Amino acid sequence: MRTITINLTAGVALPIYVGGNYFHLLETTAGIDVEFVRNQGVFATARNMEFGFSSRPSDGFEGLVLTSATTQAVKIVVGEGNGGYDRTTGSVQIIGNQGTFTQTAKSVTNAAQVAAAANTARKSIEVQNNSAAGVLRVRVDGTAASVSSGLRLQPGQSYVPQGYVPTGAISVCMETADATANNVEVIEG
């Protein structure tokens, strides 16, 4: 199996004297025509093929003729046997949830307060306990946290939901009185 890069001129048929029983078009910027040659004649034609096209003529081929409507460089694979080529070109960009975030510091005592109001457009939320010693309680079901109910976050820990983000009000409360200013950080997107 071998990979060949070829420069095609618009409208000019280019014969390629290489045989095989496997053809794969790896890179193009526009469609090309592929003619398969055997016994000095064209026995099969594929019109306006783009990258990813492949063919395995049953009795193989002795050559190819490539024609493009535009000037371009193409890359092909030609081979013998049962091999294959599974490659794509280009780039992949993964874009997850993105957007504007708000970040607020709150001074939380042992009385419940809303850390983040209900927000049906919420895509992310993080609540961090920045207290030096106090344990933070967090409720995400829209009801008020208390000194004995809610997720328990030790100093420095954060609540960050994975996969499913609650859109209701998020309530927080310290288990004991905590006079530390800005002891809870909330980031919402």
Average pLDDT for 1-11: 92
Which of 45, 79, 113 terminates a domain? The answer is 79
157 and 125 in a single domain? The answer is yes
Q: Which residue has the higher pLDDT, 98 or 13?
A: 13
Task: Give residue 81's pLDDT band: very low, low, confident or very high (50, 70, 90).
Answer: confident
What is the domain extent for residue 25? Answer: 2-79
Band (85; pLDDT cuts 50, 70, 90): low
Q: Looking at residue 178, what is its pLDDT?
A: 84
How many Å apart are CA 68 and CA 117, to the nearest integer?
60
pTM for the structure as a whole: 0.51
Taking a C-beta distance cutoff of 8 angstroms, is the pair 171, 96 a contact?
no
pLDDT band at 177; cut points 50, 70, 90: confident
Instruction: Of 188, 48, 174, 67, give the one whose Cα is nearest residue 124.
Output: 188
Rounded to an integer, the average pLDDT of 158-162 is 93
Q: What is the pLDDT of residues 34-67, one digit of tens each?
A: 999 999 999 999 999 998 899 999 899 999 999 9
In this structure, are 68 and 108 located in the same domain? no
Confidence of residue 102 (pLDDT cuts 50, 70, 90): very high
At 2 the pLDDT is 87
Residue 161 is assigned to a structural domain of this protein: yes
Q: How many domains does the chain have?
A: 2
pLDDT at 82: 72
The residue among 97 and 102 whose pLDDT is bigger is 102
Q: What is the mean pLDDT of the chain?
A: 91
Residue at a domain's end among 79, 113, 132: 79
**Is residue 97 domain-resident?**
no
DSSP letters spanning 49-109: E-TT-EE--TT-BSEEEEEESS-EEEEEEEESSS-------S------S----EEEEE---
Query: pLDDT digit string (tens) for 108-138?
Result: 999 999 999 999 999 999 999 999 999 999 9
